[in-house]
Structure 1
Amino acid sequence: MTIRTTENQTALSNADRPVTGRAAFLNWLGLYTLLSKEIKRFLKVPLQTVFAPMMTTMLFLAIFTLAFGNGERYDGAVSFANFLAPGLIMMSVIQNAFANTSSSLVIAKVQGNIVDVLMPPLSASELTLAYALSGLARGMVVGLVVTVCMWFFIDLQIHSLPAILYFLVAAGLMLSLLGIIGGIISDKFDHIAAVTNFVIMPLSFLSGTFYSVERLSGIWYDLSHINPFFYMIDGFRYGFIGTSDSSLVQGAIIVGLLDLFLYAVVWLLFRKGFKLKA
């Protein structure tokens, strides 16, 4: 009788073991819940998370186009405004993708509610995917709003939609993953602000957003080609104007490999609970 009871309990335990919504080694319900929570978090304050970056980007466009003759300056066969616009769109995407994930994790750590994310049955892969996709979502929403606004002032043409989509998604994921790393290693807002001001901003501004790197020479030209942000912006710009300053295939491979590397780093940090578990 005791053996039967034990066998029944074991069978019941095994029947209850699969988590609702878990399939193909992923807890899809948990992944969707965390992703939905992170997306709703930035959508609840659209003036701060979407329209403020849009206004800043449009100011950059107005200032630089007016400073360079209101479209009379040309970079190759393309007007300066058409050359500048894709770079500004990409800059808004990567900055907001980074800000979304880094701020979410730092706020959770400072407020002490990071445990609400760590206690549910979510694996390192599910945590990584949820946070990374939420940062990508914010970056793409901001990029779409900026693009729509620019279309009222600039005659943007699409040369290669696959190039636009690939570099948009790859760049958003890269900065989203970097934001997760920054959020995990940072203990307070000053730390993440330092990463933003001394790493993300310089790399994005010195990546060919406002100029063609072909105009550079010597060490500055070489440094530009070491900057991964250059390949994101160059490939994305190619999708609009049809010209690039580097090999499109090389840029796509570099960005893709960096995404895989950063994903592995984030997965390992979540797996180990680095600076997350007491």
Structure 2
Amino acid sequence: MTEIPHRNPAERRFGAVNWIGLYTLCRREVLRFTTVWTQTLLAPLVTAGLFLLIFTIAIGPTRGEVMGVPFTQFIAPGILMMTVIQNAFANTSSSIVISKVQGNIVDTLMPPLAPFELVLGYLAGGVARGMVVAVCITLALALTTGQMPQHPLVLLVFVILGGAFMSALGMLAGLWSNKFDQMAAITNFIVTPLAFLSGTFYSAQALPPLMYTLTHFNPVFYLIDGARYGMLGTSDASPAIGFVIALGATAAVLLAAWALIRTGWRLKA
């Protein structure tokens, strides 16, 4: 394992932060998903709409209220956050894996960018993609169902946290994966279960005691629960506690990503 050579940021001729390099990396990561928006933005929106439509038709009329709101309104914030975290994860993980497979990861490592600047650059792309998806779904809900966020600032905070947490997790997955099937395994066996088993389609209060306890160890549960509070004004757990746990989990994963990028783990021979 070879450490990526880098100078102390304070000693670099352009200062502690390479703003031009950081902006360029952020711009590249944003352009990665905006140039193929039919795959990265339109497709997730259609999938989210289909989830909402199918559950509304199949279960909505007979399910009754959940936590004091109609079932369709209850699952909408969960679908929103599920879509956000899946897209944020996909943006950073695919960026790193594709660069490694194509052999051009050196183009990212060679410029005078410190490890924290690389983390911020990748993070910007994942959070931006998650935010665009969240805004589109929120607008679609407002236009089709009249559902408006009860606490828009809370919703915004949890969407940003969700995008940041899964972007950082995507970096770790991209660093570990050297080929696409390894990346697919992480998506199928870790990311998807985390999203589906975090209260997206049900209230944690309806779970058996063991599952209820295990659910509260899942950071994604607090992201979905926080988004539900922001949209509906109701939640399983305290939004304040959820914010602290989600923020701590995000900071921990970002720190791990920074540490691995700093050492060049699975980036250089």
TM-score computed with the length of structure 2 as normaliser: 0.93
Q: Distance in 1 between matches of 2:195 and 2:31?
A: 27
Q: Distance in 1 between matches of 2:249 and 2:224?
A: 15
Larger displacement relative to structure 2 (141-150 or 124-133) = 141-150
Aligned counterpart for 1:34 among listed residues 6, 25, 32: 25
Q: Distance in 2 between matches of 1:239 and 1:149?
A: 16
Superposed displacement of residue 17, structure 1: 5.8
How has the CA–CA distance of structure 1 residues 274 and 54 changed in structure 2, closer, same or farther, with 3 Å as cutoff? Answer: same
Superposed displacement of residue 70, structure 1: 4.2
Query: Tell me, what secondary structure is at the counterpart of 1:88?
Result: helix
Query: Tell me, what secondary structure is at the counterpart of 1:276?
Result: coil
Aligned counterpart for 1:47 among listed residues 38, 58, 64: 38
TM-score computed with the length of structure 1 as normaliser: 0.90
CA RMSD, 1 decimal: 1.4
Aligned counterpart for 1:242 among listed residues 217, 228, 233: 233
Aligned counterpart for 1:140 among listed residues 126, 131, 141: 131
Q: Distance in 1 between matches of 2:30 and 2:77?
A: 25
- For structure 2, the residue ranges without an aligned partner over 5 or more in a row are 1-10
Q: Would you say the 8 A contact 1:81–1:154 is kept in 2?
A: no
What code does the residue aligned with 1:144 have?
A: V
Aligned counterpart for 1:232 among listed residues 223, 226, 243: 223
Aligned residue in 2 for 1:178: 169
Q: Distance in 2 between matches of 1:128 and 1:187?
A: 19
Deviations 1:61-119 (A, max 9, x none): 00001112448721132111111111101000000000000000000000000000000
Q: Would you say the 8 A contact 2:67–2:234 is kept in 1?
A: no
Larger displacement relative to structure 2 (63-72 or 244-253) = 63-72
What code does the residue aligned with 2:112 have?
A: P
Larger Rg: 1
Q: Distance in 2 between matches of 1:264 and 1:17?
A: 22
How has the CA–CA distance of structure 1 residues 226 and 17 changed in structure 2, closer, same or farther, with 3 Å as cutoff? Answer: closer
Aligned residue in 2 for 1:197: 188
Deviations 1:110-148 (A, max 9, x none): 000000000000000100000011101111111212222
Please tell me whether residue 124 in structure 1 is matched to residue 115 in structure 2.
yes
Q: How many residues align?
A: 259
Aligned residue in 2 for 1:96: 87
What code does the residue aligned with 2:23 have?
A: Y
Please tell me whether residue 222 in structure 1 is matched to residue 217 in structure 2.
no
Please tell me whether residue 18 in structure 1 is matched to residue 9 in structure 2.
no
Q: Distance in 2 between matches of 1:17 and 1:241?
A: 49
Aligned residue in 2 for 1:206: 197
Superposed displacement of residue 162, structure 1: 2.2
Q: Would you say the 8 A contact 2:29–2:124 is kept in 1?
A: no
Runs of 4+ in 1 over 6 A off after TM superposition: none
Q: Distance in 2 between matches of 1:207 and 1:60?
A: 16
Alignment of 1:48-87 (within 5 A): 48-70=39-61, 73-87=64-78
- Which structure has more relative contact order (CA 8 Å, sep 6+)? It is 2
Deviations 1:206-237 (A, max 9, x none): 10000111111221111111111110000111
What code does the residue aligned with 1:158 have?
A: P
- For structure 1, the residue ranges without an aligned partner over 5 or more in a row are 1-15
Q: Distance in 1 between matches of 2:105 and 2:235?
A: 43
Q: Percent of aligned positions with the same letter in both sequences?
A: 49
